[in-house]
Structure 1
């Protein structure tokens, strides 16, 4: 019975010695020292991307004009779709997310931007009016 209560020995971590120092050294070697090499690296990354894809701009985490309001400040609006149309819209939003090179994009953000486009872009407004008549 005493042997079953013994705790197992700690795992052998000997193979990991020096890994942290190697990682820090690699990071130091890849960090540009001035602004010019960083711009060159940025241009290289653009050329590596498949055609038709836009690279997201540095320092920008969300698309659109402004971030969504905080939940406490928001005025909720409900848009209802039938099940078939909802599936089509989900696919469309996923395609937009992929085309925009974003990790996250929700339907509310798409609807907000479409309404803003209708208010600011006259051809979009006219096309919307034709659909609504």
Structure 2
């Protein structure tokens, strides 16, 4: 009984972790609202840069089987909010990790190169 109690309580401690970095003049509140309203997400990393919006998401445990549907839904909602931006949404952990690296470095001069790298990773088949 104690093992089950620890497993259940450990899973409930997972907190929604949404990180947004904005290097543009766009309002980031709408992205936060879209991501916070989706209960299928465990965490997300968002990067605004010029005309680009890159979103790396991590789905909750039982939602991982529907990653492509989650990506499409989020992209559709964000396209309605930001029609002028090029939006990239991925539930791939590699994309989320690379986006997080770009945010941590905070080197605006190398962001363009990093974004191109992320887009090339999206084209790879794993």
**TM range, smaller chain:** under 0.3
- Normalised by the length of structure 2, the TM-score is 0.23
Which structure has the greater CA radius of gyration?
1
More strand by share: 2
- Normalised by the length of structure 1, the TM-score is 0.23
